[in-house]
Structure 1
Amino acid sequence: MSQKYQGSCLCGNVCFSVDGFSDKAANCHCSMCRKFHGAAFGTLVGVQGLAWLSGKDLLKDFVASNGTIRTFCINCGSSIGFRVKGEPVGNIELAIATFDTDIPVTIDAQIYTGYKANWCELQPELPTYFEGRTGAC
């Protein structure tokens, strides 16, 4: 039997489980991630075997002007995840802070650092990209 990792929103009404994670997880410094997460950066990870345990009807999408989709709980406002333009909710990258226990994920990059907040220091041990993973600094 495989390991299941569970997560939830702040109010606990949206709950999910996953079977595994992508080997790529980045701290995203773009202004949209910063605003969506209310933090210096958003940290998201792709997942495998996503199952919505409860509250799927409480998920709401915000579609940005560039077509990217950010999903949140309409009850408590928790940032749940991110999708690129046109992707279904099954392909969501989840905010790692929504997991309820430790998860086997290692942050491997800092992306969109060209947009980082001036008061935020980058982590010198991580690869840094001005844009996505293609625009190295």
Structure 2
Amino acid sequence: MTMSLRVACLCGKIAVDLQGSPAARANCHCTSCRDFYGTSMLSATAWDADSVQIAEGAWTVFQHPTKQLSKTFCNACGEVLFGTNRLGMHVVPNAITARATGGQLNVSLTPTMHLFYRHRVIDVSDALPKYLDGWDGPTYDA
């Protein structure tokens, strides 16, 4: 599904336009996402870089000191708008997209899998496939 969605940071001073379709929709349990985003699991969509455009506002990019990761955040409220992974994909947290759609994620944005589940710090009970590593590897069978 092709979409056009404008999302904003918590204070509303930054607007980001999402165009097209996400390349991936996942809950990521990898140590890099947990450490970099400060969460036990990152629920997000990954987009081609040209599908995510900052429309307005002042932002800063923080480059991870040792990994091929960066995050773009609002200068006013500090909320992360999106990260950029080692593949150059822009990773948009689902909390931001849910806020833009009235608190509920559009079905075209909901996670379809768990990644790096072997590295989890919390167990998740749902029907989504739980890949032990990337989505081309074995899955977790409880």
Q: How many residues align?
A: 130
Residue of 126, 134, 137 corresponding to 2:136: 134
Corresponding residue number in structure 1 for 2:91: 93
* Alpha-carbon distance in structure 1 between the residues aligned to 2:17 and 2:31: 28
Deviations 1:88-133 (A, max 9, x none): xxx412112112114331311101112211xx22234111112221
In structure 2, what residue type is equivalent to 1:27?
Answer: N
Answer with 33-42 or 124-133: which moved more. 33-42
Question: Is there any run of 5+ residues in structure 2 with no aligned partner, and where?
Answer: none
Question: Aligned partners of 1:27, 1:35: CA distance in 2, in Å?
Answer: 14
Displacement over 3 Å in runs of 4+? 35-38
CA distance in structure 2 between the partners assigned to 1:135 and 1:86 by the alignment: 18
Identity of aligned residues (%): 22
Give the TM-score of the pair, scaled to structure 1.
0.77
For residue 22 of structure 1, give the secondary structure of its aligned residue in structure 2.
coil
Question: Equivalences for 1:116-131 in 2 at 5 Å?
Answer: 116-117=120-121, 120-131=122-133
CA RMSD of aligned residues (A): 2.4
After superposition, what is the alpha-carbon deviation per residue over 1:6-63, rounded to whole angstroms, capped at 9, x for unaligned? 11112222111222322520100122322343332112213364332212x4132232
> In structure 2, what is the equivalent of residue 58 of structure 1?
59
Identify unmatched segments of 5+ residues in structure 1.
none
